[in-house]
Amino acid sequence: MSRKYFGTDGVRGRVGEHPITADWILRLGRAAGIVLAGNDKRGVVIGKDTRVSGYMFESALEAGLAAAGANVLLLGPMPTPAVAYLTRTLYACAGIVISASHNPYEDNGIKFFSAEGEKLPDAVEQAIEDELDQPFVTVDSAHMGKASRVDDAAGRYIEFCKGTMPFGTLLSGIRIALDCAHGSTYRVAPAVLRELGAKVHVIGNNPNGMNINDGCGSNNPGAMQAHVVESGADVGIALDGDGDRVVFADREGNLVDGDELLYIIASTRKQEGSLTGGVVGTVMTNFGLEKALAELGVPFVRTAVGDRHIHRALVERDWVLGGEASGHLLSLDRTSTGDGIVSALQILEIMVRTGKSLSELRDGMLKYPQIMINVPVSASAREQLSDSENINRALRDVENELNGKGRVILRPSGTEPLIRVTLEGSDSSQVERLASQLADTVRAELGS
């Protein structure tokens, strides 16, 4: 199936440019109502992050869904994983998130969850796209959908997050430097940590609609790393704009990314005999994680980039643990989708239970030098990547020089107009040189 609008994580783009316009989102709301709700009156949950354009798209979705006859449950600003959780517990027929995740405020997007709080299968996304091609027909007024607000949404989610910790486990005495990226976790994340007993020093918790992810959050962890040192915290935590990613820093301000967090969780579970099966990563996962897990006897497989691919691989194998270096981690025994707060609590729980610092917990994994260069390209140029003879020749030259002692990944971003050039190997200077060399070729051939 060839989808026109849905990428690796819903529909995303620049606000005001097709398809991220109010009129198109209105049509999307109606199409989603037809496909996901039909005659089901349980309601469709809508949550959003803190972008200023969220007001406009919330209204457009609400109108489109109502026109299709679907009832709407409005959550207001809530993390993406909270929408997944509340879709399940409110017994809604679907969930919708208005967010562009870690992107700047000028972007926005729409993500969907099934009634089970999971990302939609490709076939369902295709059905929504097919419905978009149909005439916009409003149901009879007697069957039109209604909208209501869920006033206790934040409290429900806070209690859920706390409930993923073993009963009686408290964070008393732990000092945490927390960066909420001026995003959707700005209220709930500090509340969860403080109610569990931690002393929390918060930054990135004053959203104004335009500062989401701006120099902060998991994509820009420098602010959090500096905040750890300045505040004298034991650990630092940075979430992204919609709350499904998390990265850490130790008390010295050293970054601990998603691959290392995944190692900490997996190795601890393995040692305690509670690990179910193996671990799923992606083609971008650092080889150091694969090697460290192999030494522990933990199976490891790679998928294409994107949590939907990781989720599918976990379900197929009946495993529960997977993730990406970005900090998008899945623990299917805790919740149905990637959840930055729940992932953070797992790490904090391990620290409390073992009495070890974050730097001690990650000691068993040695990361290989890895560099990623993003080359801006036009949307059409992304599709030409595999057809360029010069790029293919440069790629072969890099692979020949690595000679099996490293990896090169060349791929278009699924969410942004970029070609991602990634190299990994044991020699950091060689990795940097070859990555720049290949990126220059891509830029000359396809750069915007």
Q: Are residues 349 and 392 in the same domain?
A: no
Q: Residue 229: inside a domain, yes or no?
A: yes
For residue 254, give the nearest of 181, 360, 180, 349 by alpha carbon.
Answer: 360
Q: Are residues 188 and 237 in the same domain?
A: yes
Residues designated as active site: 101
Per-residue pLDDT, 386: 81
Per-residue pLDDT, 406: 83
Q: Are residues 122 and 37 in the same domain?
A: yes
Q: Are residues 23 and 134 in the same domain?
A: yes
Q: Are residues 313 and 283 in the same domain?
A: yes
Q: Residue 3: inside a domain, yes or no?
A: no
Per-residue pLDDT, 2: 64
Q: Residue 399: inside a domain, yes or no?
A: yes
Which of 200, 229, 254 finishes a domain? 254
Q: What is the CATH classification number for the domain harbouring 113? A: 3.40.120.10
Q: Residue 69: inside a domain, yes or no?
A: yes
Per-residue pLDDT, 194: 98
Q: Residue 165: inside a domain, yes or no?
A: yes
Q: Are residues 267 and 392 in the same domain?
A: no
Residue 422's domain comprises: 370-446
**Total number of domains in the chain:** 4
Q: Are residues 269 and 356 in the same domain?
A: yes
Q: Are residues 336 and 423 in the same domain?
A: no
- Name the phi and psi angles at 217, rounded to 5: 80, -175
Residues of the chain scoring pLDDT < 70: 1-2, 415
Six-digit token string for 2: 């060839």
Q: Residue 1: inside a domain, yes or no?
A: no
- pTM of the complete model beyond 0.85: yes
Q: What is the CATH classification number for the domain harbouring 407? A: 3.30.310.50
Q: Are residues 260 and 249 in the same domain?
A: no
Q: Are residues 192 and 225 in the same domain?
A: yes
Q: Residue 278: inside a domain, yes or no?
A: yes
Which of 361, 385, 406 finishes a domain? 361
Q: Residue 2: inside a domain, yes or no?
A: no
Q: Are residues 411 and 327 in the same domain?
A: no
Q: Are residues 174 and 237 in the same domain?
A: yes
Which of 254, 289, 313 finishes a domain? 254
Is 28 within 8 Å of 11 (Cβ atoms)? Answer: yes
